[in-house]
A = this chain, B = another copy of it.
Amino acid sequence: MSDVSAVKAALKSQVIETPSWGYGNSGTRFKVFAQAGVPRDPYEKLADAAQVHRYTGVAPKVSLHIPWDRVEDYPALTRHAQDLGLRIGTINSNVFQDDDFKLGSVTHPDPTVRRKAVDHLLECVDIMDATGSPDLKLWFSDGTNYPGQDSITGRQDRLSEALAEVYERLGEDQRMLLEYKLFEPAFYTTDVPDWGTSYAHCLKLGPKAKVVVDTGHHAPGTNIEFIVAFLLREGKLGAFDFNSRFYADDDLMAGAADPFQLFRIMHEVVAGGGLEARTDVNFMLDQCHNIEAKIPAVIRSVTNVQEATAKALLIDTDALAAAQRAGDVLAANGVLMDAYNTDVRPLLAELREEIGLDRDPFGAYLASGNQERIAVDRVGGEQAGWGA
């Protein structure tokens, strides 16, 4: 697709969903460094998300995390979002921070704990109903730390049962997105460790269950774009959690550690129809801005995803297909690299101008004074973080 107007149209239609928790404090097990101006409640998180959308124009959706974003009145929160030009995106469940979940949630050996976990998931579907959220994202930290600690098979049985109960509860237009992760916080087995496990469960559950690919959740050396292409071919790619990493689940800004990988992923997305409405792929960020300012970090992440998408859209697909058919390795690779080596920042600047935005979202945000304003305004109260 090398027609520039088609490229621009595709870029304009892309929606990138930002996570409410990305605006709060986060850190490692060693330390959470607090930052000035961090939101104290879900309303302030939405205000920050609105800043990102204001300057990028492609981030109107916000993921919530329950219980971190629990409020009394969800319709009020939803209206607040709408007033800010936003809508509620994915509801993220959290069954890993209650003391009862030390040895697992939906896969815990004790049925009482499992009941509590499933009830939380069902509550999340209630919140979907109340907010209009289309997607329930399930990430389970469940697993074990030591060989022998629990039965791998037994835990799969319990997982299966829990997923089925929640799936049944979903409405017509609601989806279940099942995330996988190699390790952390579990250090021996994880109950949904890889895409194969998630895929196998989703297949049994039915068409409303899809796989989430978090770009930081793989073993070293895993070819993520292969998984993306495979799942798209199977109609089972539900969403991305974009972030980047050099080592493990580092949760750095998308595109920061390996921009070429992000480009290759977006190439498979484009090739597999993942930008088209019919495939319904949700492009979410899931990051931790431990040491950098949060709103600008989210803006940079959004523009990094856009740049990778633009490059992928610029690939000369006819030339690529011809070289592939001919078995011309260097020519085919060359077609891809031509697109990657292109500086797409001018194209994106132009596109923003066309829709009334500043050419440079990062610079415009910094110049807006918002960062200084929230640092002054948001004093007192408890800053939002992973624990609250």
Are A252 and B96 in touch, CB under 8 angstroms? no
Are B333 and A148 in touch, CB under 8 angstroms? yes
A130 to chain B, nearest CB (A): 26
Q: Does A152 contact B (CB under 8 A)?
A: yes
Which among A34, A110, A291 has the greatest number of chain B C-beta atoms within 10 A?
Answer: A291
A268 to B155, CA, bound (A): 13
Chain A stretch 130-165: residues in CB contact (< 8 A) with chain B: 141, 145-154, 156
Are B330 and A293 in touch, CB under 8 angstroms? yes
Residues of B within 8 A of A146 (CB): 252-253, 256, 292, 329-330, 332-333
Are A307 and B341 in touch, CB under 8 angstroms? yes
Q: Does A169 contact B (CB under 8 A)?
A: no
A5 to B354, CA, bound (A): 36
> 0/1 per residue, A28-45, Cβ < 8 Å to B?
111101100000000000
Report if A268-B28 is in contact (Cβ < 8 Å); known contacts: A146-B332, A247-B248. Answer: no
Are A386 and B29 in touch, CB under 8 angstroms? yes
Q: Does A195 contact B (CB under 8 A)?
A: yes
Residues of B within 8 A of A258 (CB): 258, 260
Cβ-closest chain B residue relative to A256? B146
Are B333 and A147 in touch, CB under 8 angstroms? yes
Are A153 and B336 in touch, CB under 8 angstroms? no
A336 to B386, CA, bound (A): 31
Chain B interface: which of A46-54, A80-88, A223-231?
A223-231
Are A330 and B297 in touch, CB under 8 angstroms? yes
Residues of B within 8 A of A247 (CB): 182-184, 187, 221, 248
Which among A193, A327, A335 has the greatest number of chain B C-beta atoms within 10 A?
Answer: A327
Residues of B within 8 A of A246 (CB): 183, 187-188, 221, 223
> How many A residues touch B, CB cutoff 8 Å?
105
Residues of B within 8 A of A327 (CB): 103, 109-110
Residues of B within 8 A of A103 (CB): 291, 327, 329
Q: Does A79 contact B (CB under 8 A)?
A: no
Residues of B within 8 A of A233 (CB): 153, 156
A250 to B341, CA, bound (A): 23
A251 to chain B, nearest CB (A): 8
Chain A stretch 200-230: residues in CB contact (< 8 A) with chain B: 200, 203, 218-223, 225-227, 229-230
A30 to B188, CA, bound (A): 16
A198 to chain B, nearest CB (A): 9
A230 to chain B, nearest CB (A): 6
Q: Does A175 contact B (CB under 8 A)?
A: no
Q: Does A73 contact B (CB under 8 A)?
A: no
Are B184 and A248 in touch, CB under 8 angstroms? yes
List 5 A-B pairs, minimum CB-CB distance, nearest first. Answer: A196-B196, A148-B336, A219-B219, A28-B185, A220-B220
The interface of chain A, by Cβ under 8 A from chain B, is: 26-31, 33-34, 96-97, 99, 101-103, 109-110, 141, 145-154, 156, 182-185, 187-190, 193-197, 199-200, 203, 218-223, 225-227, 229-230, 232-234, 245-248, 250, 252-253, 256-260, 264, 267-268, 271-272, 290-293, 296-297, 300, 307, 320-321, 323-327, 329-330, 332-337, 340-343, 345, 362, 386
What are some 23 contacts across the A-B interface (CB < 8 A)? Answer: A27-B29, A30-B386, A109-B324, A109-B327, A110-B327, A148-B332, A148-B333, A153-B232, A153-B268, A182-B247, A184-B247, A187-B246, A188-B257, A189-B223, A196-B227, A197-B230, A200-B230, A219-B220, A247-B248, A248-B248, A259-B340, A260-B260, A334-B362
